[in-house]
């Protein structure tokens, strides 16, 4: 099932203001920057029509261009629109809570966070992103809304939830597995949702990784991996398409005599960011073999060095907080108070991390010099990594590693387009390609800092003023979900509140006012059970349901937990499919499973359930595979 979620909250602030010029427009007086040819062409013009570049030349633009559509950009530089190949646009701040005594983590975002990031990225010249991990339905919805012209933001290639051997799920980010046999179904489910890639994570075994890669190939989607114990060399041999983060922390990449001591002494968590580098010998055969394997098999790589720099210098606010004003306020507050990669680090840890930083830069340079395909990614919306501004920082870090400016510009434009399978559409300034262009006041081939301050951006031929985009982003962040909408701010929050509220411990009873507030006053609930003679249905009001639960489950308690959710929103209407299991008593073993189909209506700024049809498993009917846990 494909989600067609059209962001309903903040619609006026997020909607694309136009659908593209009806007549050709010319931008003249430019110096064109071509990172592929490594050329600068002064006194140039670009003609754009219906979202595409239709002509490029020197001197005055064609006389057929109407005067009102001739834009004087003398003294400016034109560069192909930038890519951030590691931008988490759908996630929200990490939140932890306890349910039934177990930790539960949630990283789901909302329209305010996604809209703010989209506008800030575009304001910094980022016209295309790859999101390597988030809520599949939300990411597909974002991608499709931008493609349809319904939302202002960078075009996107997206993944779904990260597949990981983790003891805990993270809602909106990570789906855990315990056995290799679970991987193919998860990959298939995400592919059916419409993702472009799947993300395989550091806790996986080689068999897990192989199963994910094989199923992704069958499903026609790409594979991205963030790995730890499985080496990059092994991942390349298994056929991975892309690797992320300049932390190849597998013990197998260390000299053989150092591996056992490293494994015995390493600490869990982010300490590996520097502890592995302390033991690594970048001139050892293991590293050479790894780099050759990546280059030979054309495995794409983005380093996200900015994410590690702000952690390694987490004790220095002049580095850590320099771009914090560009973050969404919810992230800024979270990073200051709750979640950071360097959480718990001591002064000695920061000193050790800074000491290995030159090795990080050197490894990135070695990968470039060996011909490994590289793009520019930031790990946006992870701690202190912000939309747009961090991309310019990342590009400058590549230059500090010793990579030429021209090569860095290619990584952020044409090489990224090639890596994402978009080179026939964008990534260069060429007639026939999409008009994705960033206008700058200085030459980025001389100083990459120039990309930090665009003076204009074209995305699919639509011109955007960065100052206006930043103002819109601030308004989106300030607006947020309505302050008085309670549990009913979004369809997702309403359904999550229902599952939370309908579960109760033995003898505790239910919060009737809270549950009633989730429903429209005329809501109807229908439960359907397959039977040999045909499906049998019965109908209840909300109060009827609560009365029945009081009668049957007050003494024993009742638990209902959601497996998976798929949301479609059309204006003020929402349709939600949600699989679940339920049980009487305090245990979590399901006594029944089923699929809910909710219809919601937004009135007075609140999303309320107007109906629910619940189909219970049995008599030959089972949950569809994509709704399995």
Express each pLDDT in 561-601 by its tens digit.
888 898 888 878 989 999 988 887 655 566 788 999 999 99
Q: What is the pLDDT of residues 299-347, one digit of tens each?
A: 999 999 999 999 999 999 999 999 999 999 999 999 988 899 999 999 9
* 495, 598 contact by CB (below 8 A): yes
Mean pLDDT of 240-260: 97
Name the pairing type of β-strands 52-58 and 39-49.
Answer: antiparallel
Task: Select from 43, 39, 76 the least CA-distant residue to 463.
Answer: 76
Give the residue extent of every domain in the chain. 82-402, 486-627
CATH among 3.30.830.10, 2.60.40.10, 3.20.20.140, 3.40.50.720 for 82-402:
3.20.20.140
26 Cβ contact partners less than 8 Å away, ≥ 6 residues apart: 45, 46, 47, 48, 61, 62, 65, 69, 70, 71
- Give the model's pLDDT for residue 50: 93
Question: Is 483:146 a contact under the CB 8 Å cutoff?
Answer: no
CA 40 – CA 159 distance, rounded (Å): 36
Confidence of residue 261 (pLDDT cuts 50, 70, 90): very high
What CATH number has the domain spanning 486-627? 3.10.450.50
Each residue's pLDDT tens digit, 391-419: 999 999 999 999 999 999 999 999 999 99
CA distances to 107, 159, 329, 382, 498 from 386, in Å: 16, 20, 11, 8, 33
Give residue 590's pLDDT: 66
Spatial strand order of the sheet with 82-84 comes to 82-84, 126-131, 155-158
Give dist(CA 549, CA 185) in Å, integer.
Answer: 35
pLDDT at 6: 38
Q: In whole angstroms, what is the distance from residue 159 CA to residue 137 CA?
A: 10
Position 20 scores a pLDDT of 43
Mean per-residue pLDDT, 263-292: 96
Q: Which of 67-71, 443-447, 527-531 has the highest mean pLDDT?
A: 443-447
Lowest mean pLDDT among 76-80, 206-210, 351-355, 541-545: 541-545
pLDDT of residue 532: 73
Cβ-based neighbour number of residue 400 at 10 Å: 16
Write the CA distances from 28 to 55, 515, 576, integer angstroms.
12, 61, 49
Render pLDDT for 139-159 as a digit per residue (tens, 0 to 9). Answer: 999 999 899 888 899 999 999
pLDDT score for 15: 57
Compare 223 and 516 and report the one with higher pLDDT: 223
| Residue 344 buriedness (CB in 10 A; 0-12 / 13-18 / 19+) | exposed
DSSP designation for 81? P
Query: Which residues touch 597 (CB under 8 Å, ≥6 apart)?
Result: 575, 576, 577, 578, 612, 613, 614, 615
pLDDT of 1 > 60? The answer is no
* Cα separation, 479 vs 9, whole angstroms: 10
Instruction: Please name which of 83, 420, 109 lies closest in space to residue 242, comparing C-alpha atoms.
Output: 420
């Amino acid at each position: 099932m494909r989600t067609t979620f059209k962001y309903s909250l903040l619609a006026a602030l997020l909607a694309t203001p136009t659908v593209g010029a009806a007549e050709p427009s010319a931008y003249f007086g430019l110096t064109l920057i071509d990172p592929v040819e490594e050329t600068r062409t002064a006194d140039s013009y670009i003609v754009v029509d219906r979202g595409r570049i239709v002509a490029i030349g020197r001197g005055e633009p064609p006389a057929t261009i109407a005067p009102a559509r001739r834009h004087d950009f003398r003294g400016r530089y034109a560069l192909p629109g930038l890519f951030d190949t590691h931008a988490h646009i759908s996630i929200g701040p990490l939140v932890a809570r306890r349910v039934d005594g177990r930790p539960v983590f949630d990283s789901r975002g909302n329209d305010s966070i996604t809209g703010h990031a989209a506008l800030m990225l575009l304001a910094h010249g980022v016209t295309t992103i790859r999101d390597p991990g988030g809520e599949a339905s939300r990411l597909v919805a974002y991608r499709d809304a931008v493609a349809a012209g319904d939302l202002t933001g960078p075009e996107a290639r997206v993944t779904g939830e990260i597949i990981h051997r983790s003891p805990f799920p993270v809602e909106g980010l990570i789906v855990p597995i315990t056995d290799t046999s679970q991987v193919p179904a998860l990959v298939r489910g995400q592919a059916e949702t419409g993702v472009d890639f799947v993300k395989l994570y550091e806790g996986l075994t080689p068999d897990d990784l192989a199963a994910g890669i094989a199923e992704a190939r069958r499903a026609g989607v790409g594979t991205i991996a963030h790995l730890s114990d499985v080496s990059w060399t092994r991942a390349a041999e298994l056929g991975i398409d892309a690797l992320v983060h300049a932390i190849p922390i597998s013990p197998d990449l260390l000299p053989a005599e150092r591996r056992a001591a490293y494994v015995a002494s390493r600490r869990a968590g982010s300490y590996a960011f520097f502890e592995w580098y302390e033991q690594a010998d970048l001139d050892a055969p293991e590293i050479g073999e790894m780099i050759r394997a990546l280059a030979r098999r054309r495995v794409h790589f983005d380093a996200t060095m900015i994410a590690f720099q702000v952690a390694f210098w987490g004790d220095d606010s002049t580095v850590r907080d320099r771009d914090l004003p560009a973050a969404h306020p919810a992230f800024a507050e979270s990073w200051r108070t709750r979640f950071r990669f360097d959480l718990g680090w001591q002064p000695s840890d920061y000193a050790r991390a800074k000491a290995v930083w030159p090795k990080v830069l050197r490894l990135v340079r070695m990968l470039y010099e060996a011909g490994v395909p590289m793009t520019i990614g930031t790990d946006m919306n992870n701690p202190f990594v912000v939309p747009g501004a961090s991309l310019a920082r990342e590009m400058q870090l590549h230059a500090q590693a010793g990579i030429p400016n021209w090569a860095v510009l290619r990584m952020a434009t044409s090489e990224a387009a090639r890596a994402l399978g978009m080179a026939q559409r964008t990534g260069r300034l060429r007639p026939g390609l999409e008009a994705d262009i960033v206008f700058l006041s200085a030459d980025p081939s001389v100083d990459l800092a120039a990309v930090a301050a665009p003076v204009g951006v074209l995305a699919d031929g639509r011109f955007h003023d960065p100052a206006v985009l930043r103002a819109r982003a601030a308004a989106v962040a300030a607006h947020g979900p309505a302050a008085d909408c309670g549990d009913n701010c979004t369809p997702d929050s309403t359904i999550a509140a229902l599952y939370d509220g309908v579960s109760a411990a033995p003898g505790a009873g239910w919060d009737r006012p809270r549950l009633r507030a989730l429903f429209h006053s005329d809501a109807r609930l229908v439960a359907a059970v397959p039977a040999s003679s045909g499906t049998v249905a019965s109908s209840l009001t909300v109060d009827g349901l609560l009365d029945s639960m009081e009668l049957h489950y007050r003494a024993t308690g009742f638990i209902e937990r959601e497996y998976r959710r798929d949301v479609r929103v059309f204006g003020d209407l929402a349709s939600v499919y949600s699989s679940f299991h339920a049980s009487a008593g305090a245990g979590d073993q399901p006594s029944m499973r089923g699929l809910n189909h909710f219809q919601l209506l937004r009135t007075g700024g609140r999303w309320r359930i107007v109906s629910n049809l619940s189909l219970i498993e049995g008599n030959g009917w089972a949950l569809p595979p994509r709704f399995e846990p």
